Amino acid sequence: MIAVATRTAPGLTRRSLLAALLLAAAMPAPAAAPASLEGNWMIESIGTPDNHTAAGLGVARNERGELAVRITMPITNMFGIALGIAEPDGDARYAVKGEDLHLTLKDAGTLVVQGLVDDPVEMHRVATLPAEPPAPHPPAGPAPRWRTRLGGAIYAAPALRDGVAYVGNTDGVLFAVKLADGAPIWNFPAGRPIYGPALATGDAVYFSSDNGYLYRLNRADGKEVWKYDLGDGRVRRIPPNPQVFDYDEHGPAPLLVDGVLYIGAGDGGFHAVRADSGERVWRVQSNERIRTTAAQHGVNVVFATMDGWVVAVDRASGAERWSSKKTTAYTSGPAIFGDLVVAGNRGSVLRALDANSGAELWKQNYWGSWVESTAVFRDGRGYIGSGDLFVVSCFDPQTGKNLWRTHVNGWVLDRPALTDDRIYVGVSGGRRRNAALVHQSSALTALDRSSGRIVWSWSMPEWDGAFLSGFLAAPGVADGLVIAAGLDGSLYAFPEQH
């Protein structure tokens, strides 16, 4: 019931006022204002039970009145990272400029997002989005038993054999260092940076340099036995840099099978070379750089390229057996598990292929994080690091499903080292200028192999002006020591603890 005041404005009778109210009640209500894209939107969980995350978008007008979109995705350590500008793309639809992301307002409280994952997801309006958690503080690790300064940054994993570490650096020098005390034995100046691990055999050390040569050295004294021209001495390389996205920090180790070395090159060539003489057996050409170590599967050898191909060729002739093109650059090497080829890439996918045909058997999404670590296997399980996820993952090689994941607070860009009960990983990172915009550790970290629990972590001090610090190269384990090569140009030995 509507109560009407008896007092009226001049010239307005009770009857005319009542008529006006009835007319207003009969008129349709004004159309509701369209729902606004501005605000915070979130989905609590997307993905599979073994690989899921929350995700959110924050939309606010910038000083130019544009709808600026920021993303929060805790699994990739992104909290309020700028994505781009949402521009109208139809009725209640928007496209994020520069991203393959489409937003549709279903109603005032529901946003349909296409392009975040394979299928559209619904986000709901929320008051706030998750904030960056405090940096973790794992148990401190043991002090190094020794440290030997070698000069330039070390990206190559040390090769360990018979009490000696063989490792190259960006000064272009390959060193032989005693494991017992870190004393240098000999060095060989190649003259251009060395990014790939060496291969040490009974009497020889093999390695490649950015000067375009594959070398064989005498292991006892470091004297050159032969060098083979890979033909890629003029190929450019850009190590990790804050202004360049497509950087290039890996190099291949030679693969030795039945007296023949197999190695890729920066010009896309893949070579078979006699280990005793340095003579070419064959060479095949791909379209892009090969920066990863090849793997053997029976009579074939498998390699991966920087334009997204995995290729299997006959070891004897170089004839192609199969090839698979699925995504972008492979900067981690193919790993063999039975009849599977497992490889990660910069397309943020870990993928398993049939080693006999190249057919895809499974893939696992890494949520926008590069997978530059090479997988390693032990006791039927796979172990691998990742970039912006900051995690070490244990997975089932037959299905790709994650068994556990451990946050190590930085990039793991090379393979883990395994023992019976431990996993050792090099962790690299920097301050907030890096892409994830959260603090990252620079550390050598030890995990329990069965559970993924961090046992200890030794932090390397950061230094001013460095984009990246810590340990990018894979560590090695020998003679009761964990040997780690640092971006500070030092080789470290830590006691192996059980």
Per-residue confidence (pLDDT) for residue 15, from 0 to 100: 38
Give the model's pLDDT for residue 431.
57
Strand partners, 207: 215
Q: Is the pLDDT of residue 21 over 90?
A: no
Q: Could you count the other beta carbons within 10 Å of the beta carbon of residue 377?
A: 18
Residue pLDDT, tens place only, 204-253: 999 999 999 999 999 999 999 999 999 999 999 999 888 888 889 999 99
Residue 336's φ and ψ, nearest 5 degrees, are -100, 130
Is the pLDDT at 40 greater than 90? The verdict is yes
What average pLDDT score do residues 154-169 get?
Answer: 98
For residues 484 and 471, the answer to whether their CB atoms sit within 8 Å is yes
C-alpha 208/C-alpha 224 separation (Å) is 13
Element (H, E) at 25: helix 14-26
Reduced to 3 states (helix: H, G, I; strand: E, B; else coil), residue 116 is coil
Q: How many other CB atoms sit within 10 Å of the CB of residue 74?
A: 17
Place of tokens 């279903």: 106
Q: Of 17-26, 87-96, 289-298, which gets the smallest average pLDDT? A: 17-26
* CA gap 220, 393 in Å, rounded: 39
Read off the pTM: 0.89
Inter-residue contact 198 to 168 (CB < 8 Å): yes
Q: How far apart are the first and last CA of the chain?
A: 82
Separation of alpha carbons 4 and 183, rounded Å = 100
Supply the Cα-derived Rg of the chain in whole angstroms. 29
Residue 61 contacts residue 70 (beta carbons within 8 Å): no
If one compares 285 and 463, the residue with the highest pLDDT of the two is: 285
Q: Please check whether residue 184 is in contact with residue 149, taking contact to mean a CB–CB distance below 8 angstroms.
A: no
Residue 397 has pLDDT above 80, yes or no: yes
| Across 98-106, average pLDDT | 92
pLDDT tens per residue across span 345-392: 999 999 999 999 999 999 999 998 999 999 999 999 999 999 999 999
pLDDT of residue 437: 57
Tokens of 68: 């600026």
pLDDT for the residue 3: 37
Specify the pLDDT at position 90: 86
What is the helix (H) or strand (E) element at residue 435, kind and residue range? none
Q: In what helix (H) or strand (E) does residue 304 lie, and over which residues does it extend? A: strand 300-304
**Per residue, what are the HEC states of 335-375?**
EEECCEEEEECCCCEEEEEECCCCCEEEEEECCCCCCCCCC
The band of 35, judged by pLDDT with boundaries at 50, 70 and 90, is confident
How buried is residue 227: exposed, middle or buried, by Cβ count under 10 Å (0-12/13-18/19+)?
middle
pLDDT reading at 158 higher than 80: yes
Assigned token pair, 368 = 């926008």
Structure-block tokens of residue 40: 């915070």
Question: Cα-Cα-Cα-Cα dihedral of 366, 371, 373, 374, to 10°?
Answer: 90
Confidence of residue 2 (pLDDT cuts 50, 70, 90): very low
Three-state DSSP at 493 gives strand
The answer, yes or no, to whether residue 20 has pLDDT greater than 80, is no
Cβ-Cβ contacts under 8 Å for 81 (sequence gap 6 or more): 70, 71, 72, 436, 437
> 369, 386 in Cβ contact below 8 A?
yes
Q: Tell me the average pLDDT of the chain.
A: 90
Q: Are 468 and 482 in contact (CB under 8 A)?
A: no
Q: What's residue 498's pLDDT?
A: 67
Q: Is 152 helix (H, G, I), strand (E, B) or coil?
A: coil
Give the Cα separation of 247 and 238 in Å (integer). Answer: 5
Section 7-32 average pLDDT: 38
d(CA 412, CA 358): 27
CA dihedral 205, 210, 212, 217 (to 10 degrees): -20
Residues 165, 159 contacting (CB under 8 angstroms): yes
Give pLDDT tens digits for 173-209. Answer: 999 999 999 999 999 999 999 999 999 999 999 999 9
By the 10 Å C-beta count (0-12 exposed, 13-18 middle, 19+ buried), 290 is classed as buried
Question: What is the token pair recorded at 27?
Answer: 């008129």
Residue 7 has pLDDT above 80, yes or no: no
Q: Are 171 and 209 in contact (CB under 8 A)?
A: no
Nearest-angstrom CA–CA distance, 244 and 419: 36
Strand-pairing partners, residue 56, are: 42, 72
CB 226 within 8 A of CB 213: no
Largest CA distance in the chain: 115
Burial of 189 (0-12, 13-18, 19+ CB in 10 A): exposed
Residue 75: phi and psi, rounded to 5, are -65, -30
Q: Are 257 and 296 in contact (CB under 8 A)?
A: yes
